[in-house]
Chains A and B, each alone.
Chain A
Amino acid sequence: MWVATFLRLVPAICVALLLCLSACSPKPHDVTKVAAQPAIYPDYIGVTIPVEIAPMNFCMADEAVEAIDVVVRGSKTGELRARHSLTTPDEVAQFDIDEWHQLLKDNIGGTLSFTVTALKDGQWTEYQPFAMTVSPYPLGEYGIVYRRIAPGFETFSNIGMYQRDMSTFCEETLFDVKDVDGQCMNCHYANRCSAQEFLVHVRGKHGATMLRRGGKDTYLTTKTDETFGSCAYGYWHHEGRYCAFSLNKAQQNFYTGEKKIIETWDRMSDIVVLDTETNELLRTPLLEGPDYQTTPAFSADGKTIYFSTATVQNMPQDYEKVKYSLCSIAFDAATGTFGETIDTLINARLLDKSISLARPSYDGKYIMYCLMSHGTTPVSHMDSDLWLLDLATGETRPMDEVNSGEADAYHNWTGNSRWFVFGSKREDHYYSLPYFACIGDDGKATKPFLLPQENPREYYLENLHSFNAPDFVHERVDLDRGEFTERIMSDERIQVKAAALDLPTDK
């Protein structure tokens, strides 16, 4: 044990030694002042951040800048200077993690003013200060969980599930492809950010749905004789007993042109609800019709299931005619029964648009969803934008304050419904990265910011993965990788049963 502990400490010891040998970083002199704010990477100018966030390290957008000196002043109190050492390149503004957190705590509800002085071609230039606002609303979460996957088409390569502490730069592997014998895995679905109630799917030869609830891990086979596929997109009922799923038989085609890459579409899709106590799939003919039904989500009070639905088209020829509307059906958690009618919240066909991934805020105020020209996989549609439906007023609007010209999708809320994370391809059209923003009392979101990294340029330049379906998590997910591998490889599964489908008498 001590050997393993020692070996784990080796990198930290090396870093500590290097820090002790702090390099002589250049100090600004003969500074020229300019009236403009600096162009920085990532663009953190004017963003609002939660008090728990890791240091917002950045560098100049201009890669020719050789060194950067940054002084941060709190509007209430405190001052902090970016540090440099052998492990921190001169061109990156990196902040001491403890001093950073203290400064944020001291300035909750206030602003931080960043004064940047940059060295280029032997000349120091001081820019006008820019600000970040420290939100009065905490994130209230340990971090995020996501799947990292190369944004490919058919091959999944070194896919893995990871968790990231939002207060530090620590990323931890929950499990990856080598733990599951090279098999694919689908996203992690947690019950309102819970680290105690979540599920993940593993696909392939040793496929399973691993469901954690009540301190127990269950490995399920969710494909039944009565249903055409395994459970896919999932969403928990907040009481924890039920989980709604879509069953999707997906297919993909590729574009020929310059901008669009791939079209993923459902050959078939239905919605079922898994009763985690009886391991039974609850069904209704209203959600298993010939139409496509997908991406279900329970309302905040658990009495409604929101989902997207579209009429079947001649695919793939008529792929542009597939328009998903946002609909809902009642659900009674006490009896595990569905309502008898489907309500249409937003008729996308009238808008000539398509809606996907409805995500109700946990406080019951909003539904955030993706809107795009057609189809069901927003992450592959560069016109996919986030929209917000105010459930009190029925008003819906595009979230222009966070949207970009590239795909914005896969959004999830924090437990307090004040913050949300979403994946965006705005960086380079190809790789989806996690952005964060805050919703104010007026329903307006703040400018989104990219997940901070210790050396952001190097990290994101060398990153060859998309951060798929990021979701918040209250506390660190404790998953024994060895045991997980053993259970996956054992093929011991509980076979889920499908409840009888009561056909309506008028059909």
Chain B
Amino acid sequence: MKTLTTITNSPFVPSVKTLVGAALLFTAVTVWWIGGYIGTISYHEQLQMFLTDGGYFCERLSLPGGLADYLSELLVSFFFFAQIGAGIIAALVVLVQLLMWALIRRHSDTAVGYALSLVPAMMVWAVLGNPDILMSLPVAMIGVLALCCVAKPRWWLVAVLLPVTYWLFGTMFYGMAIYLALYALAERRWVTMGVTVVLTIAIMVVSTYWLNYPLYRILVGLHYYRYPTTLPYVLVVPMLFASVMPFVAKAAGRVKVLAAKNDWKVLLPALVVCVVPCYLLVRSMYVKEVHDVLEYDYLVRSAQWDKVIAKADKQSPNTPNTVVCLNLALQQSGLLPYTQFRYFQNGPEGLLQDYNKDFLSPLPTAEAMFRLGMINAAQQYFFEAQEAIPDYRKSARLTRRLAETNLINSQYEVARKYLGMLKKTLFYASWVKEVEPLVGNEKAIDAHKLYGQLRKNQYADDFLFSNKEMDMMLGLLLVKNPKNKMAYEYLMSYIILNRDLQHFYDYFQLGKDLGYEQPPSIYQDVHALLEAQKSPNGYMGQQYQSSGTWNYILGTAQ
């Protein structure tokens, strides 16, 4: 029977110090993600639809790396709750570190080894700054490192482990191959080393022949990156470091001053040397502008309008996509006709963008169209955005929206199809239960707070939608439902953004029964401008000269 000491000395049992280190790392990564990258967590979640049925599991497992892909999707499903998502990412980073430390301890149980164990983990933290690097990367690393921890340089074990690891975790198995080859080299096991090298090459050759994927994808991995046509080679860096780190630690351990096990005088400088460059790497990999766009999208998705405005107050959005988010938030908060021109405006595209073949940029416009009552146009945007997801996955978020547009359109069979799929997800199933009774029930939909209202807003006639005549499209929404305040405010905003004020007063009149106590300030500005243009040097002109609305219309905005 093993004694307690033997067990606690095992490389797989973390010491208290290791646990404290892991807790610190977990906290740092969690705070990092919650503090600035909640939108990125949501972005990951909305670009997949993880189904809980066996067919989905088998489909994933039919390709190398399938288990990592499946587990990654399972974990990312929990990103539905963004804060939990941050915790999961932190847990993945910590697991990489703990496994790395366990692996290093097999070869060199030193303070320097512990510091080195942080390097691959922090590299994972860094590369996840690219929002299109998928969680299957850390999951695969964890799987490979866990198997490395039990692997020994025996040729028969290598012959079993390498193909299994490849199939379950994909090309991250390189890490195991390098580790085992170096391990065998260190122990002068030439047969094992030969088997490792030959088998690795053989696996790749067979894959190239058997899988219908371009060579570069097979070499870098099928499931680690969202875009199949381009693959950043940074993907392989953390695993490469992980595979050689035990031997770096071992080499370092041979240097007398670095061989200490529990010496703070060695540990602290080692931590500084390892952690500081890694932290700088982390900071450099998270590009603020990229994550800002994702945060705007998340805030719109979760209808956190006040947070959108607060974010814009700190720094006015300046990309077409983020301006759409801001204007939608302003309208939903009742501020569009009052404060819109306090922020940068890029023209009518800042209200409703033309469709771009993209999976992100159409979403804010689609959300605005959906709320306006342009149900078919919104459906087109949602559908196309889903189809544009580069790795051809479906999106639970967008499928839910498609189910809703089809419910509103009384297309119950296709709505039932989408609901049937969502029913197999972890976190949309409860919503499906809520809306399933609506399928086929016209009266219930008419009485539904949101869908009933959208039906009232929806166009009465079937005609061809025209993005080029958006004022007409918005006007027709008002014709259908004169109480559609959002359509009115978007219409007014559209003509102002378009600097097309010929019919300003005609359109302005449409809002008289929409509950404004007095004309909104932006409309007053426009009125004043039109009056001032009649007598440019008059009193009114001077009063409004600093108005954002004037500056925009006159083209003098900074």
**Chain A interfacial positions (CB closer than 8 Å to B):** 3-4, 7, 11, 150, 152-158, 173, 175-179, 181-182, 253-261, 263, 316, 319, 427-431, 458, 461-462, 464, 481-482, 485
Residue in A closest to B394 when the chains form the complex, CB atoms: A464
Provide the bound-state CA to CA distance between A150 and B402, in Å.
14
Contacts of A316 in B (CB 8 A): 464
Number of A-B contacts (CB under 8 A): 111
| Cβ of B368 to closest chain A Cβ, rounded Å | 16
Taking a contact as CB atoms closer than 8 A, the residue among B228, B461, B466 that contacts A253 in the complex is B466
| Cβ of A295 to closest chain B Cβ, rounded Å | 23
Contacts of A482 in B (CB 8 A): 209, 212
Q: Is the CB of A7 within 8 A of B466?
A: no
Q: List 24 A-B contacts (CB under 8 A).
A: A4-B206, A11-B62, A150-B387, A154-B357, A154-B384, A155-B387, A177-B392, A179-B212, A253-B464, A253-B465, A254-B380, A256-B377, A256-B461, A256-B463, A258-B375, A258-B462, A259-B409, A429-B413, A430-B411, A430-B413, A430-B414, A461-B421, A462-B55, A481-B212
| Cβ of B206 to closest chain A Cβ, rounded Å | 5
Residue in B closest to A181 when the chains form the complex, CB atoms: B229
Known: A259-B462, A430-B411, A431-B414. A152 touches B55 (CB 8 A): no
Q: Is the CB of A260 within 8 A of B462?
A: yes
Provide the bound-state CA to CA distance between A157 and B385, in Å.
10
Contacts of B384 in A (CB 8 A): 152-155
Q: B488 at the A/B interface (Cβ < 8 Å)?
A: no
Q: B420-445 toward A: CB 8 Å interface, digit per residue (1/0)?
A: 11000000000000000000000000
Contacts of A179 in B (CB 8 A): 212
Contacts of A154 in B (CB 8 A): 355, 357, 384
Q: Is the CB of B417 within 8 A of A461?
A: yes
Chain B: interface size category: 35 or more
Contacts of A254 in B (CB 8 A): 376-377, 380, 464-465
Provide the bound-state CA to CA distance between A316 and B377, in Å.
17
Contacts of B458 in A (CB 8 A): 258
| Cβ of A261 to closest chain B Cβ, rounded Å | 7
Q: Is the CB of A427 within 8 A of B421?
A: no
Provide the bound-state CA to CA distance between A3 and B162, in Å.
14
Provide the bound-state CA to CA distance between A429 and B402, in Å.
14
For the complex of A and B, the 5 pairs showing the least CB-CB separation, nearest first, are: A257-B462, A428-B413, A158-B392, A157-B387, A256-B459
Q: Is the CB of A428 within 8 A of B414?
A: yes
Known: A253-B466, A255-B464. A152 touches B383 (CB 8 A): yes
Residue in A closest to B358 when the chains form the complex, CB atoms: A155
Q: B374 at the A/B interface (Cβ < 8 Å)?
A: yes
Provide the bound-state CA to CA distance between A119 and B55, in Å.
25
Known: A4-B209, A153-B380, A482-B209. 8 other contacts (CB 8 A): A153-B384, A176-B212, A255-B376, A256-B459, A429-B414, A430-B411, A431-B414, A462-B55
| Cβ of A427 to closest chain B Cβ, rounded Å | 7
Provide the bound-state CA to CA distance between A258 and B387, in Å.
21
| Cβ of A309 to closest chain B Cβ, rounded Å | 23
Q: Is the CB of B229 within 8 A of A156?
A: no
Known: A153-B384, A464-B394, A481-B212. A256 touches B411 (CB 8 A): no
Q: Is the CB of A255 within 8 A of B411?
A: no
Provide the bound-state CA to CA distance between A253 and B383, in Å.
15
Contacts of A253 in B (CB 8 A): 464-466
Q: Is the CB of B210 within 8 A of A258?
A: no
Q: Is the CB of B462 within 8 A of A3?
A: no
Q: B547 at the A/B interface (Cβ < 8 Å)?
A: no
| Cβ of B369 to closest chain A Cβ, rounded Å | 11
Residue in A closest to B463 when the chains form the complex, CB atoms: A256
Residue in A closest to B408 when the chains form the complex, CB atoms: A258
| Cβ of B414 to closest chain A Cβ, rounded Å | 4
Q: Give the residues from 349 to 395 in chain B that come closer than 8 angstroms, CB to CB, to chain A.
A: 355, 357, 374-377, 380, 383-384, 387-389, 392, 394
Q: Is the CB of B55 within 8 A of A156?
A: no
Contacts of A462 in B (CB 8 A): 55, 420-421
Residue in A closest to B424 when the chains form the complex, CB atoms: A462
Q: Is the CB of A461 within 8 A of B464?
A: no
Residue in B closest to A253 when the chains form the complex, CB atoms: B464
Provide the bound-state CA to CA distance between A430 and B416, in Å.
12
Q: Is the CB of B212 within 8 A of A178?
A: yes
Known: A181-B229, A259-B462. A152 touches B387 (CB 8 A): yes
Q: Is the CB of B459 within 8 A of A257?
A: yes
Residue in A closest to B415 when the chains form the complex, CB atoms: A428
Residue in B closest to A179 when the chains form the complex, CB atoms: B212
Residue in B closest to A316 when the chains form the complex, CB atoms: B464
Provide the bound-state CA to CA distance between A481 and B421, in Å.
31
Q: Is the CB of B413 within 8 A of A427?
A: yes
| Cβ of B173 to closest chain A Cβ, rounded Å | 15
Provide the bound-state CA to CA distance between A428 and B459, in Å.
22
Residue in B closest to A149 when the chains form the complex, CB atoms: B387
Contacts of B376 in A (CB 8 A): 254-258, 261
Contacts of B214 in A (CB 8 A): 178, 181, 485
Contacts of A182 in B (CB 8 A): 228-229
Provide the bound-state CA to CA distance between A6 and B408, in Å.
50
Contacts of A429 in B (CB 8 A): 411, 413-414
Q: Is the CB of B414 within 8 A of A155?
A: no
